[in-house]
Amino acid sequence: MTILHVEGCIRPYAWGSRTAIAELTGRPSPTSHPEAEMWFGAHPGGPCPVHPVGDDDPTPATGDPGEGTGAAPAATEGSPVAGGDARTLESVIAADVPGQLGDAAGPDGRLPFLLKLLAADQPLSLQAHPSREQAVAGFAREDAAGIPRDAFTRNYRDDNHKPELIVALTPFDAMAGFRPVGETLRLFDVVDCPELSRFRAMLGSGADADDLRGLLTTWITLPDATVRPLVAAVAASCRRAAARVADGAEPWMVRTLETVAELGDRYPGDSGVLCALLLNHVRLEPGEAIYLDAGQLHAYVRGFGVEVMANSDNVLRGGLTTKHVDVPELMHVLTFDPLEDPVRRPDAAGRYPVPVGEFALRRVTAADPEATSVTGPAMLLGTAGRVQVDETAVPAGTDATSTALTPGDAVWVPAGTTVGLTVLDAGHPPAGAETGADAGSGDHAVAFIVTVGTED
């Protein structure tokens, strides 16, 4: 089996950056439209063309401007998908599931993961993802109801769950999971908003999950005539509090106050602004990560990162967006147990432990002293410099293939094929990363490796 270049599929969602992905991939910047995500995978909502290594790299395909609409991307002029006869990774896998996926193939014969570059210049929607069982039931229910899979009101675009891991390439702000109630009560005291005080009594019973469920349900179902002035008052109080405590409060508290004030300006009258008071507000430095399991409420706020998830595009939204919001369905899938420390860091080998079998992610840095060996099925993604990829252990009489990964390049490695990665040139991390933990260390990420399950 030969290794293949995978052409990224760009999704121009409104919250995306006009510079981050373009600059990483060496294209003109700023772009004419936001570029929020660049997909590398075999999801039907973002089919990625593939071509043999050594062919001229085409321009990335550009998707529609929706948010998770599930529609296929339009090919850019000159792309091999434009003629309609190019292979996609999805079609290559479907034509030879055992050869491409080997033992990693599930009963559906699909690639288990989806890899992305994600670049947010504005906050994303307040959202969560379903469990596998919820996705199967919801997908079947909406199919039976005759809701088109690309409909604006569609919740379940496939029948899979969507656990996800995002690793920061630049400092990355996010809201991730519910904060312990005791910390939220301290935050309420600092906000010092009379209109908020009557809700304080709903917290602090000692049953954190029940308290959070009760308060969130109350806020997210308030009538517009009530929620609009409440959001305005809370946002104004957060702005005043942020200015008052900027030099003395804990960083998470200052970030929360500033973010809630910003959200109040962007989404006046949206109860999602109130919900943001209950979530962990974290800032990832380059190399740090967040793992989000089914049912965990979250919203990415700003930053550039590499994201890997189960092969799904199911998003249930509760606010902070102009896209489809389904509060009852979101409440059905949410889990309310507080997430005390959402930040994850790689182990000594660059791996990020996750409790799922669909993917395992490894970060290759400029400081890695030796070649890294990977056996497929795997996806390789370059993020800085130049990384040599050489096929090894090829059968007698077969020519080994090789290529070089530069930022934004991706390579598919089929099952049973082994490649070695060697850092030829460390390059430079993305713009903005110089403020992070890797600044000046030579230890920035040059590539990421995604395999199925735990990487040996």
What's the rounded mean pLDDT across residues 300-325?
96
Any known ligand binding at 388?
A: no
* pLDDT reported for residue 76: 36
Q: Domain 178-281 class?
A: mainly alpha
Residue 9 pairs in a beta bridge with 39, 61
What would you measure as the largest C-alpha separation in the chain, in angstroms? Answer: 78
Partner residues linked to 362 by β-bridges:
351, 449
The structure's pTM equals: 0.90
pLDDT tens digit sequence for 191-217: 999 999 999 999 988 789 999 999 999
Q: Active-site positions?
A: 317
Chain centre distance of CA 344: 14
Confidence of residue 55 (pLDDT cuts 50, 70, 90): low
The answer to whether 129 is a known ligand-binding residue is yes
Domain with CATH 1.10.441 in the chain: 178-281
CATH 3.40.1000 fits 359-451, yes or no: no
Proportion of the chain above pLDDT 70, given as a percent: 89
What value does the mean pLDDT take over residues 28-55?
92
Q: 164 among the known binding-site residues?
A: yes
Domain limits, CATH 2.60.120, in the chain: 359-451
CA distances for 277 relative to 16, 69, 424, angstroms: 24, 28, 46
Alpha carbon distance 294, 132 (integer Å): 8
CA separation for the pair 275, 73 (Å, rounded): 33
| Alpha-carbon distances, residue 227 vs 4, 192, 268 (angstroms) | 52, 18, 9
DSSP 259-325: HHHHHHHHSTT-THHHHGGGEEEEEEPTT-EEEE-TT--EEEEEEEEEEEEES----EEEESSSS--
- 77 pLDDT band, cuts 50/70/90, is very low
- Give the mean model confidence (pLDDT) for residues 67-87: 41
